Amino acid sequence: MSTDHESPSPLTLEALHHVTMITGDAQRNVAFYAGLLGLRLVKKTVNFDQPEAYHLYFADEHGSPGSVLTWFEFPGAQPGRAGAGMIHRLELGVADSDALDFWADRLGRHDHPATRTGDRVRFRDYDGLEFDLVAAGDGGNPPLRADHPEIPAQHAILGIEGARAFTAEPAAPHPLLTDTLGFTAGGPGEYTLTGTGRHVHWGYDAAPAAPGVQGAGTVHHIAWCSRDEDHLGWQARARDAGQFVTEVKDRDYFRAIYFREPRGVLFEIATTGPGFAVDEDADHLGEQLRVPAMHAHRREQLERTLTPVVNPRTTR
């Protein structure tokens, strides 16, 4: 007698999880992203591989995948320069044209000149990292906003809409994206990754002649989002596609695997869970230093040597 079995759901990435950058100054980082841009500092922890360095996470109120921007702080890091195989611009969503006007004015008043062109506003942070604010409109991603007393909710940043990388061959076909990871190809060098709740744009531009230099103001890696139960499946699929994939790494707030796509960008696939409230109350995210379990024996030393960082929410 035969028995019907429910077939497993196909592997589908849930769009973007986070993007990680490098900075040379943690407090300036917090002042810019939590103070000026109004994101929530949801986690203050340290780099797993170099615990002497901060790892700071900014996001919406809940630390939702698709809203998360993170930074490694290497104090005094020299400015970097994006080149081939590196992300050079991030796109953040806002609601509409009025929100773009709000941000062009706010950034300019705080000495970060912004250029308005059509449905986007371009600016750089204090390290020189380039951003576009884009009017996502009603048909865009669900809003992922943080609360900030100086930023009206209707003008708040609503999540990450896309990222762009430099490569020597921007228009060349990219089967790893389309055949392995499930991206949809658009125009030359243009792709979209669509999950069940969100989508994200990914694109390539012609690389400048000068080689890239990793440093302050550059992107370290980009992380796509996987359902928890699919993570090992993605590890196997990437290996089957010829990628050198790391073992699964427990990052406390998600599990992660890493590989470098053929054009040089470091990709991560991170799980949706367990999330940022696993080790502190959801109402008090980012207020205290959290130290990974593997470095717990170094907490006292780290608290003495890390420069204190003030979360703006604790001073309001």
CA 51/CA 72 separation, integer angstroms: 10
What residue has token string 């994939």? 245
Angle at 26 between CA 112 and CA 299, to 5 degrees: 165
301 CA to centre of own chain? 29
78 and 215 in contact (C-beta within 8 Å)? Answer: yes
Q: With H, G, I as helix, E, B as strand and everything else as coil, classify residue 262.
A: coil
Structure confidence by residue, pLDDT tens digits, 107-160: 999 999 999 999 999 999 999 999 999 998 766 899 999 999 999 999 999 999
Query: What are the tens digits of pLDDT across the range 71-87?
Result: 999 999 999 999 999 99
In the chain, domain spans: 16-314
Residue 2: predicted pLDDT: 39
What residues contact 242, with CB distance under 8 A and at least 6 apart? none
The residues with which 75 forms a beta bridge, in sequence order, are none
Per-residue confidence in pLDDT tens, the chain, 316 aa: 434 444 456 899 999 999 999 999 999 999 999 999 999 999 999 999 999 999 999 999 999 999 999 999 999 999 999 999 999 999 999 999 999 999 999 999 999 999 999 999 999 999 999 999 999 876 689 999 999 999 999 999 999 999 999 999 999 999 999 999 999 999 999 999 999 999 999 999 999 999 999 999 999 999 999 999 999 999 999 999 999 999 999 999 999 999 999 999 999 999 999 999 999 999 999 999 999 989 999 999 999 999 999 888 887 6
| Nearest C-alpha neighbor of 141 from the set 92, 96, 198, 95 | 198
What is the token pair recorded at 133?
Answer: 């604010």
Read off the tokens for 116. Answer: 């308005």
The second-level CATH assignment, the architecture, of 16-314 is Roll (3.10)
Q: How does strand 266-271 pair with strand 255-260?
A: antiparallel
The dihedral over CA atoms of 190, 195, 200, 201, expressed in degrees to the nearest 10, equals 0
C-alpha 38/C-alpha 31 separation (Å) is 9
C-alpha–C-alpha distance, residues 267 and 220, integer Å: 9
